[in-house]
Chain A
């Protein structure tokens, strides 16, 4: 165990928490999920633990148990707010923590997403990120503009199709998403940092030589640019992507600053990291820092049996053992610290913890996990950077157009 290597910690916020029965816990606030106060409290709590960032889940659909169509359930949280706007709403109330909303890439406009995240970077003064996410098939009829493949139906056991099956069906959609991120990133660079000159003598507000069309033309769309929004404070806000198989790993390695994987164990985590590093090199990004974070759902307790008890109560209400795309960790903060450090030795540089219950498991992350990691020399004791990129040790990148324009 190294004592000088700090882990990065993010928390994934979604509704009342990741366990479908979370909203029925005594500490949950199921009647407030659509209020600003709820989200402001959660993000402030995460910031009090000096976490790197929060992510906010989103989709252009109602929540559902399957990816192809909506279910008729009334016993789980249904209904959500736009994640970019939640992040914008809490930005002025926080000072250090990164804000990483999800925005989808299938039915949306790169121009809109680019200016929205750039503006989040302005209103948060350099703390914006984005989780780029493909739309699920059930979102298609909400737009009616294009046919996107649906996934194979769940098998007899009711489980999801395998990650590889999903990735194959979505291979084109991932290629399109890569174009999407490319356009978003180019638009962020379409103004050079010093484009605004306010030169009264020559009556020029900008030096237009420092604004650049992005002139992207690809298989799915073309976008001209430049953006209407000047280059954001971080230059390039953080781009993140979740993957469970080779195709999305490649997407993440080619486009993202942080790739989330769902590590079953250290061996599988190490193999995924290697695959991502190879794709990173193949994409010519060997010199860039690409973090690989492990995603874990966490059910925490003061003792192992207390954690098991909580898990049992939640699963009892669900009527089944909860499983999702990410492994579920059940135990104490100290046990979780052990697990994170073990996984980090396989090459993971950080973790995105998905609290099973909000705010309960977030509270335990802040009150118990963070001090535990800090005791082991594995977590910061103060925020020491002004931007999200800075917290993650990422430089403010040079503008791609500035390098070639002169």
Chain B
């Protein structure tokens, strides 16, 4: 091979609090026991994945004022699980979603720096904000952000966190016993910050960690969100799975990053994806159909559509036609505690009605069509081909992968697809770097300099 192939970045997530996880499968395991997370993380490391990814939710979802009961409910706290996984893995990055709305920078920055120390440089942070008052009711600070303030908060939070991480020079600890000099300088960790969201000063508790800064991940689709991510994140989640629009997003993120003075390759683009494998293409399709029917029951279909209609649809027969009422976006929220999926519910519903009429879809068929996407369905060779082609053609830099079956679903990917990607030279056969940042090919943050 004359030209080095682009190396595929792989992350692994544990299917969690949503309808994707088929908890009714006899092989489905605990969603809370540590053994589940250990199994997925070790499997990912066996497959030479870059990182393990854990999502977060800070309030149980509700439907019509009652707690959801039909799909996974309950999850562990992100950071303690990642710290514990550091003990049972050696190379795998440990990335968690952590909310910038319901945390304080000093506390969260030290937790992330601590995780980075305790994992030898493998910590990553997916920065998110909440703007729902529903979640705020679980917190003493209460309240919520105005929607338009969420990037302000996130940006300022991140700026403060970086200032805290930079407040200790790399060589601050001398530990010279004979001279009695533990620190090289008396003001190690000094910081101050004054902004719209935070006005703080003092001494940061935690010396500089192996990576300097944990790897920063962000989602961003709107122009503002894209600029934010391209300007400050090490990796951006991409919502695009069709090659043409994924390539467009990829180019756009790179262009925005370049405009903000970031060197090429300093922002990775990563969609999440799930997979269903089979010995033949037909068998994979059959398994996929079975998974879809188990993921999206009649009741789940009603609830998924409620997230767009914002009306109680429990009275509509899942096997009957689409609800004949209009969405009610301004009414009190029927579903609480999950992301709002659609900006214009009227347009979405109109499109769905057309589709359902053309294809004869029932309510449930439509929900399966709209929400039941599994990105990679096929034989291991087909899936390896598609993943590799997508990355080599700059649809993304890799994928964050998860299975509908927790915790053992990732095993077959690692056993059957990973070797094929390795044969092509698109996936490492062993870890080359010491830290997550090294393995992702990201530049080290400058020591002691403040990010803009």
A contact set with B: CB distance below 8 Å:
23-24, 28, 30-31, 34-36, 39-40, 59-62, 70, 72-82, 84-86, 88-93, 107-112, 115-116, 118-120, 122-123, 125, 138-139, 141-145, 191, 196, 198, 200, 203-208, 211, 220-226, 228-230, 317
A79 touches B206 (CB 8 A): yes
User: What are the 5 A-B residue pairs with the smallest beta carbon separation, nearest first?
Assistant: A221-B140, A88-B83, A82-B114, A119-B77, A30-B175
Is B389 positioned at the interface, with any CB of A under 8 Å from its CB? no
> Which A residues are in CB contact (< 8 Å) with B113?
81
Asked whether any CB of chain A lies closer than 8 Å to the CB of B437, the reply is no
In-complex Cβ contact of A142 among B33, B79, B142, B202 (8 A): B202
Whether a CB of chain A sits under 8 angstroms from the CB of B80 is yes
**Which residue of A28, A61, A122, A205 is within 8 Å of B202 (Cβ)?**
A61
17 interchain pairs (CB within 8 A)?
A35-B118, A62-B203, A85-B118, A88-B80, A89-B83, A109-B141, A110-B140, A111-B58, A119-B77, A119-B80, A142-B201, A196-B73, A205-B71, A221-B142, A228-B59, A229-B74, A229-B75
Q: Are B106 and A142 in contact (CB under 8 A)?
A: yes
Q: Is the CB of A84 within 8 A of B80?
A: yes
Instruction: Answer yes or no: B242 CB below 8 A from chain A CBs.
Output: no
Q: Are A141 and B201 in contact (CB under 8 A)?
A: yes
A26's nearest neighbour on chain B, judged by CB, is B177
A residues within 8 A CB of B104? Answer: 107, 143, 145
- CB-based nearest B residue for A198: B23
Assess the A74–B183 pair: CB atoms within 8 A.
yes
Which residues of B, 238-278, contact A by the 8 Å Cβ criterion?
A: none
B358 at the interface (CB under 8 A from A): no
Contact B205 A228 (CB under 8 A): no
Q: Which of B99-135 contact A (CB under 8 A)?
A: 102-104, 106-107, 110-111, 113-115, 117-120
Residues of B within 8 A of A116 (CB): 77, 79-80
Chain B, interface residues (CB within 8 Å), range: 35 or more
Q: Which residues of B contact A139 (CB under 8 A)?
A: 202
Contact status A144-B200, CB under 8 Å? yes
The answer to whether B180 touches A75, judged by C-beta atoms less than 8 angstroms apart, is yes
B86 → chain A closest CB, angstroms:
6
Closest Cβ–Cβ distance, residue B91 to chain A (whole Å): 14
* Contact A207-B69, Cβ < 8 Å, known A60-B107, A82-B111, A89-B83: yes
Sample of 13 further A-B pairs with CB below 8 A, known A30-B173, A60-B107, A203-B297: A24-B180, A59-B205, A60-B106, A74-B181, A78-B183, A82-B111, A91-B84, A92-B84, A111-B58, A123-B80, A205-B69, A206-B67, A206-B69
> Cβ of B15 < 8 Å from any Cβ of A?
no
Q: Which residue of A lies closest to B71 (CB)?
A: A205
Contact assessment for A72 and B180 in the assembled complex, using a CB-CB cutoff below 8 Å:
no
Query: Of residues B113, B180, B204, which shows the largest number of chain A Cβ atoms within 10 Å of its Cβ?
Result: B180
Q: Is the pair B205, A80 in contact by a Cβ cutoff of 8 Å?
A: yes
Partner of B84 from the list A40, A88, A222 (CB cut-off 8 Å) is A88
A30 touches B201 (CB 8 A): no
Does any Cβ of A come within 8 Å of B357's Cβ? no
- List, in ascending order, chain A residues with CB within 8 A of B370's CB: none
Q: Looking at the complex, which one of A24, A36, A203, A229 makes contact with B32 (CB distance below 8 Å)?
A: A229
A220 touches B180 (CB 8 A): no
**Could you tell me which B residues sit within 8 Å of A by CB distance?**
23-24, 32-34, 38, 57-60, 66-77, 79-81, 83-84, 86-88, 102-104, 106-107, 110-111, 113-115, 117-120, 137-142, 168, 172-173, 175, 177, 180-189, 198-207, 297, 299-300
Are A74 and B140 in contact, CB atoms less than 8 angstroms apart?
no
CA gap between A223 and B138 in the complex, in Å: 5
Separation in Å of the B38 CB from the closest CB of chain A? 7
Q: Is the beta-carbon distance between B70 and A89 smaller than 8 angstroms?
A: no
Tell me whether A224 and B138 are in contact in the complex, defined as CB-CB below 8 angstroms, given that A61-B203, A62-B203, A81-B117 are known contacts.
Answer: yes
Inter-chain contacts of A24 with B (CB < 8 A):
177, 180
In the assembled complex, the Cα of A59 lies from the Cα of B139 at a distance in Å of 21
Distance in angstroms between the alpha carbons of A311 and B140 in the assembled complex: 46
Cα distance, A74 to B183, chains bound together (Å): 5
Query: Is B83 touching A230 in the complex (CB atoms < 8 A)?
Result: no
Q: Which residues of B contact A225 (CB under 8 A)?
A: 138
Task: Decide: A36 near B118, CB < 8 A? Known: A61-B205, A72-B186, A228-B75.
Answer: yes
Nearest-CB distance from A25 to chain B (Å)?
Answer: 8
Q: Which chain A positions have C-beta within 8 A of B299?
A: 203
Q: CB within 8 A of B87: which of A36, A72, A77? A: A36
- Complex CA gap A107/B198 in Å reads 14
Indicate if the CB atoms of A34 and B117 lie closer than 8 Å: yes
Query: Are A220 and B59 in contact (CB-based, < 8 A)?
Result: no
Q: Contacts of B38 on A, CB cut-off 8 Å? A: 92
Q: Which of B115, B119, B184, B204 contacts A62 (CB 8 A)?
A: B204
Is there an interface contact between A205 and B205, defined as CB atoms closer than 8 Å?
Answer: no
Q: List, in ascending order, chain A residues with CB within 8 A of B137's CB.
A: 222-224
Contact present for B66 and A208 (CB under 8 Å): yes
Q: Which B residues lie within 8 Å of A39 (CB)? A: 118
Known: A86-B114, A141-B200. A228 touches B32 (CB 8 A): no
| Given A123-B81, A203-B299, A205-B69, residue A229 in contact with residue B181 (CB < 8 A) | no
Flag if B87 contacts A89 (CB, 8 Å). yes
Determine whether the beta carbon of B67 is less than 8 Å from that of A70: no
Q: Is the CB of A79 within 8 A of B168?
A: yes
> Per a CB cutoff under 8 Å, which of B24, B86, B111, B200 touches A200?
B24
Residues of A within 8 A of B71 (CB): 205
Q: Which of A74, A228, A317 contacts B186 (CB 8 A)?
A: A74
Shortest Cβ gap from B90 to chain A (Å): 11
Given A34-B117, A60-B106, A62-B204: A198 and B24 interface contact (C-beta under 8 Å): yes
In angstroms, how far is the closest chain A Cβ from the Cβ of B254? 35
Residues of A within 8 A of B187 (CB): 72
Contact A70 B202 (CB under 8 A): yes
A229 neighbours in B (Cβ, 8 Å):
32, 74-77
- Expressed in whole angstroms, the Cα–Cα distance for A85 and B110 within the complex equals 10
Indicate if the CB atoms of B184 and A74 lie closer than 8 Å: yes
Are A205 and B73 touching (Cβ within 8 A)? Answer: yes
Query: Is there contact, CB below 8 Å, between A230 and B32?
Result: yes
A385–chain B nearest beta-carbon distance, Å: 19
Q: Complex Cα distance A143/B103, Å?
A: 10
| Among B110, B119, B189, B200, contact of A36 (Cβ-Cβ < 8 Å) | B119
Interface centre among A125, A138, A229 (most CB of B within 10 A): A229
B177 proximity list for chain A (CB < 8 A): 23-24, 28, 30
Cα-based distance from A24 to B107 in the complex (angstroms) = 30
Q: Select from chain A the residue with minimum beta-carbon distance to B72.
A: A205
Q: Smallest CB–CB gap between B298 and chain A, Å?
A: 8
Check B173–A31 contact: CB distance below 8 A.
yes
* Chain A residues in 8 Å Cβ range of B23: 198, 205
Least distance between A5 CB and chain B CB atoms (Å) = 35
Alpha-carbon separation in the docked complex, A204 to B211 (Å): 43
In the complex the two chains form, is A211's CB within 8 Å of B67's CB? yes
Query: A80 — which chain B residues lie within 8 A by C-beta?
Result: 205-206
- List the B residue with the shortest CB-CB distance to A84: B80
